[in-house]
Structure 1
Amino acid sequence: MTAPLLSSRLANKTLKESQETARCSLCLNSFTSPKILPCFHTYCLNCIREYTESNAHNQKFACPLCAFECVIPPGGVNELQTNFYIKAAQTKSSVAANSPCQICDDGSRAEKNCLECEQNLCQNCSRSHLKMKSSRDHHLVSLTERSHAGEGQVTSKSFCEKHKGDELSFYCRKCSIPICLRCKVTTHEQHTSEDLSDVAAEIRVLLTDMLKGAQNVLPKFHGHLNDVTFYSDHLEKERDKLKAEIVEQTMKLHETIDDLSRKMSEDVDDEFCVEMARLGTRRDMISDKTTSFSTQLHSANQVVCFGSDADIAWNRDNLAEQLQNMASMRTPADMIRLRMDFVPSTSMDSPSFSELIGALKKIRDPTDVKVEEYSSFSVDNSFKAVSSVCPTDEGTAWIALGWTADLHLFYRQGIKIKAHVVSRTIDFIARDAENHLIMSSNEQKMVGKPGPGFNLDSFASFPGYHPRGITVTQDGDILICLAQSAAFQDYRASHKNKVVRLSDNGKVLMEYGADGKLFMYPLRVAANVNGDICVSDSRKQSVVIVKASGELKTEYSGSPADEQREQKTVFDPRGITCDARGHIFVADGASHSIHMLEHTGMFLGKLVTEANGLYGPYSVAIDKEDFLWVGCRDANVKVYKLNWS
């Protein structure tokens, strides 16, 4: 027999709900037909029905907030347990004072409301309601009585499945189940039994202690959120303080060093911009976990404190397991912090202008990331190169293969969803600010967006140039690599290859490297969180990082040489992407690895190498959930999960 999860007697709880628990986490509106899951999270019936239609597998689904695995009842989500606590609170707030009984005609004042029938009942009608066979197990909320916390009392009865009319009032110690009086004197006559209320009181004591252990975790989450807020304020103050010190010092120097002062101030802003982006990512992660845990703890508290004797007895093991898991839940690791200091010059006799101002000292704790291979799959049976991977926000990615007109959509697990034949051969795929696909066709010398039938409608054309890589900035501008030859092997010194910035309507806003001095063959481009433009130059064999203003920031030409080698290996940069923390990831076809760089271009390490089974990486992309997609030269795609400390 399946026992209900939720209390049949809800009391001692204020009607004033917190924002997290008064609204459905899926639709963000007040609950409609609230259903509670075994993990204590509650959702509207329609919301959880729509969610399971898209996410259930083998009659199971993961809770949207905590990912706890739940089983769909045989009759569907309609049979999930109703959260009578929330229904009672909604009823109390909606029923007018001194409402009349809706059953009898003598004008008696309503004392209770049936949550199933949604009718107001006087005292006599409510007694009759609980005696009728069709409604004896309904839940009645008191409209007049209030507990010390201000909420009306809710009552209901639990009946024996074998003896339908007998109420459960005893507990069999041997069988660990609630039983009725007839069960006690028949089937369980030789078993030790006790009053259900006594056993429930005993279980409540045990679960209350466990509940206290779970409650101790929530302040830790709040502490981490407070730490993030304090650190955010501290960063802003330190940024202003550092810039003020820089300006004060440079005011004492000659006008010829103003340009150096400007560059140093931009470096400060650049560091803090990246740090704030990392902080925002961490804040969102902790906030989501805190909300999930808070609502879970709230529902657990209601079940333990206000559940009926039968509910408590039925769900003892499940409640104990959930509360133990909650009490032992790991909170986030300590935050990686940036420390910067400005050291003013103490001498005016320095040989260079830069030394006259001073120096910025930056210290950041080492980046710790664990890489786990999530999936590996082939796009088709060919050995063509995966030229582009474009993740979406739904855990899928569009894939271009072998510079053909074929476009493939895959789940990150490697399951193919569909394929389209585009009207042009495809070199690279990106998404614009409105999440519409935008593609470059190296062969047809155009950039387009798919229209009806996935025909590629021209968005921008560049006579004399072959468009290659594309990316979209945080402002919605579009960056496109342009080369005067279709392949980097055909590059000539006279070529003036460049990167252009377009508005969302195709207007050219700026050109980078139009004089031919900045790039040799810009193949792929990525926009970093601080506005930097990161370009993989396959002919130059380096990654060129340019500020949004067009000023060269730095170049990266491969990882430092190993101590046991006389010189470093060849660097063959192909695909390039940036994450929300400012890191740069580069696919190196020569060493069969993925390089990870700081936003400054400093080498941090190789995330994945040939030793991990990676061969011929050509394209790389990262989605919003920190899954790194790597397209290889043999039609294979590998997906890695990046777990940051």
Structure 2
Amino acid sequence: MTENAPFLSDETNYTDFWLCSNLTQFKVMASKKLYDVFSDNFLTCHICLHEYEDPRVLPCYHTFCLACLAQHVAASGSGGNIKCPVCLQEAPVPPGGIEKLVRNFFLSKVKDFMLTTENKDKMCGNCDSQVAQFYCQDCRHFLCENCRQKQHDAIKILRGHKIISASDHDKQVQEEMDARLFCDKHKGQQLIFYCTDDDVVVCRDCILTKHNKHNCVDIADVAKIHKEKINSAFNHLSKNIALFEKAESEISKQQKYTTDVVNKTVTDIQQQEADIIKEVQRISAQLIAEAKDHAATHMKSLEAEKDRVQLQKVSIHSTCEFAKQLVQHGSHTEVMTHAKNIQARMKELNNVRPTVQVKTIEITFSKGKLPADFFGRVTMLEWIDEFESSMKNVWDISCSQSGTIYLVSVISCKLTAISPSHEVIFQVDVPSPRGVTVLSDDRLVVTCRDGCRVYSSSGKHVKTFGQGDMSYPQGVTLDNNGHILVCDMNNKCICGYDAVQYNLINKIGIPMCNNPRYIAVLPCRDTIVVSDSDGHCVYGVTPQGDVVFQYGTPGEEGSGDGYLNYPWGVCTDSVGHIFIADQWNHRVVVLTSDGQLLRYVVGPEQVSAPAGVAIDIKGQLVVGMYGGKVKTFRYVY
């Protein structure tokens, strides 16, 4: 028989016998009201959501109707396995099929027992208003006299059902509960023994035949022992419920927090939408007004020109009309009186031509190009992990391809390697270690008081280089060519070394810095990112020392956009984001590859005095803090 699996074997498992024999303990609390409570949960199949019909127990000890299990297995197409619909645990179908699953006799008897106790509460299952006098064994319903005659027996197909009195039904159920289980192989023989060799309950005849050489004991004795064991295991296991309830509560809190966060984010987006619409409407109204003002000015000029032309036209017209009337109707005296003047006037007007200045204008709208993130962007930050390092203050942090995290601290004078499971792999003494980086083959470079030390991945000191080249080596990283770059704080320069012979290749001056500390290199270009702690700035410089960007206000600390407060560690990710440990603003600032503020990815709610930042093999942000705590975050842009 398979251990811990409630499948039927040739004999009945003793646990079912024990459950049935203890059913009478429920007598003291049985009533129809209690049955209704049980029926809502304890006696309800989780598949069909009705009361159990032929309940069967799975190895995970969840119970379902046999027919429901058969349909579930057929629908799932799992073949030889049964996946519990409640806990999703899989178990093999027992030999002989689903029908060989153990019957939950206990539940069946509890149901019948509760329905048959306390006659005063036992009502007709049809009308629910009259006391039941009969019980139909086929319908499995109690009936009053009226419902039996006028409804049940009136239906021709139901007339053949076996109906007994309610009192006889009570007696049958009581006898069934009080009776012991009988052996299905030896008729009339009670299962009163337990075979310790086969872990099955047997009858007297079973001992004489199949189990004659086995150790068989009285079932009452072994049941008592196992009751104590089960009770002890129950007491221990039930204590875990509180742990799961606590975990469930914590998840619920996280769900509520997530809901609150997304609601706030949605509100912020909607407010941004409203603000942008308002601003767009303001700008639109302004541009429309400007266009109309331009048109009005031009129209005023055209109107003045039009008036001038019209006046000239009126002068010509009136002169022509006077001349016409003079010729047609004037006397000789009148003609001669105006002859010279009218002719001179017409001659003058004949030389006048309408002069229309070409003032056609174009009033157009030039559409501006919107930045890709003009509206904003949604990002997600997920707190993945945290642990307390043995260091009081983390100065720098680096991650290897194998997932190991390396920490250094000037105060503790230690280099510590932490495994992905937060176990200390090694810890070695280093004189005032300030920076750490991992080479491609998992060698380590640690900057310290006596230069740059090279360690193996197991923590063995291999070599020291850089003595005499630098005054105060601090941050260290690799460039895109695999060269080692070291920031010399006192000399305000970056020294480059080859990673094989550790020979000095070049020096890059960074005179704009007050106290250059830590460095990182953008993966998509050769720009070196330098943190200037006392200058409250971060710079991007080329290998030639040219400054390509500056973030922060030199010499001025602050917490607003464009300000830093003693920036410390820096790092970059695979797509070119720049991460800055903005130490005393208690946040991590993210810049684009050209030094523009992208967002604050981590704030005072998550970190306190961040010092070291690194990107691990999974692309997650690892933050080391002065207090010695290390946290890992997953961020999505």
TM-score where L is the length of structure 1? 0.42
What's the TM-score, normalizing by structure 2? 0.42
Structure number with bigger Rg:
2
Q: Could you say which structure has the greater relative contact order, defined with CA pairs below 8 angstroms and 6 or more residues apart?
A: 1
